[in-house]
Amino acid sequence: MRARVGTAFGRRRTAGLAVACVWIVACACSGVSGLRPGGGPGGARGPVKVALVDVLGGPSGYASLGQDVQNSLQIEIDQLNAHGGLLGSPVQLVTFDDQYSPATTAAVTRQAVADPAVRLLVGPSFAGLYLGAKPLVDQHGVPNCLTSMDADDVMANAPFSFREQEPARARIPALLGYIQKSTQLKKIGLISEEDSVGQDADQELTDLAGRYGLQYIGAAFTTTAPDQKAQVQQMLQRGADAVLVSENPATAGRTLQAIAQLKAGARLHPFGLNALGPAGLGSYSFAQQVGDPAGGLVFASSILDYLSDLPDARWPLAYHDFARTALSRFPPTAGGDMRAVAAGAQCVSDWARAVLAANSLDGTLVARAWERLDVPATESMLGVHERFSPADHDAVPPDSMFFYQWVKNGDRWGLKRLAGPAAVPPG
């Protein structure tokens, strides 16, 4: 598959998430190495810095996403500092606005990694921007955590970078597996833009659908035109009973509206991938903007239980703590979306675990310790069992996606959780 670094500098976040009880982890580490979270070699010598490089302002439209990551980092850093910091030092968050510009990203990344107190770099969050930052990360040996970066081939040679997400190549197989196991649907089509992402999805469906007992009837590519009834009619004429919509929320919304306008909802069941994280198909604002046609959409995503019908007592433990903290500390948007993403907080949590396991802030030692982390689902804010290795720097295993469906109760939208990883009970 081609690296997805074309349109809009590549793809965004998965986003999507809970305070992973670093204190508990620290105690566990101290039982092995005699290390306390507040007492390391040489004592405190000034703050240890976590640097965030992300879109934090400007006209790109992505600033709110960068700010959500910033909120998440601060939640977990505050948890660390409340229990004595890390190796005897307080932890401090510093931010750098990459302005959604490759040149600016390289410049601010260079500034961040040149500071010897910066021991973790979070971001950049777009694949095209990451390409300019990666050589600096590797050169300086600074552990790097990504909340969303979809170029799998780039990650294959990134010794200091770790992703708090699933590999992009796992998403369509996960969706096909869900359709095979949980529905009676047999023929699937695609309605998407004819860009690199849409073409990749078309090729993946061509290659993989048969392995799941499904027939792929092809793609109906769209333009920027608001009316997609022609594409929906094309799917119906080919006999599709399921359709994968675009990862782009605006395009997906127009597809859903066209299905509703043609009264085809009983014949053509829509599915999606929430690959754009909190700004994607799983955001409350998406359902509000699309309206009633959003009802029934099933999509694969990282954990979004805070919007679901599950009582919070049934949320994964660490996710529960994170979500409750985030919702109380940062009031949700007017549309009801949480102003934090678990992937950001998990970056800090996993890095802290690796530092404690290495008993060092040395970047190479920390990266090697990170590769040996095994984090139970109850202790991961992502709600999954994280198993890193030298060959796998992704926190979310390919078979650990969550599946939700948009439903409307009265005038209020919500999610029904349909399935989750084996370690997490379904709704």
pLDDT 10s digits, 146-190? 998 888 988 889 999 999 999 999 999 999 999 999 999 999 999
Q: Range(s) for CATH 3.40.50.2300 in the chain?
A: 7-166+339-387, 169-301+400-419
Concatenated DSSP letters of 219-265: EEEE-S-S--HHHHHHHHHTT-SEEEPPSSHHHHHHHHHHHHHTT-T
CB-based contact 417:403 (threshold 8 Å): yes
pLDDT at residue 14, as a whole number: 32
| 411 pLDDT higher than 90 | no
Question: Does residue 376 surpass a pLDDT of 80?
Answer: yes
> What per-residue confidence (pLDDT) applies to 10?
39
Confidence of residue 424 (pLDDT cuts 50, 70, 90): low
pLDDT of residue 425: 57
- From residue 259, alpha-carbon distances to 187, 201, 217, 283 in Å are 16, 21, 17, 20
Question: Does position 12 have pLDDT exceeding 60, yes or no?
Answer: no
169-301+400-419: CATH superfamily: Response regulator (3.40.50.2300)
Check: pTM over 0.85? Answer yes or no. Answer: yes
41-74: pLDDT as tens digits: 434 468 999 999 999 887 666 778 899 999 999 9
In this prediction, residues 228-247 reach a mean pLDDT of 97
b/e per residue, 209-239, with b = 16+ CB within 10 A? Answer: beebebebbebbbbeeeeebeebbebbbeee
Closest CA to 287 of 274, 268, 269, 303: 274
Residue type, 1: M
98-132: pLDDT as tens digits: 998 999 999 999 999 999 999 999 999 888 899 99
Asked if 246 and 220 count as a contact pair (C-beta separation under 8 A), the reply is no
Identify the pLDDT of residue 15.
31
Specify the pLDDT at position 46: 87
Instruction: Note whether 187 and 240 are within 8 A (CB).
Output: yes
Class of domain 7-166+339-387 as given by CATH: alpha beta
By the 8 A CB rule, do 298 and 418 touch?
yes
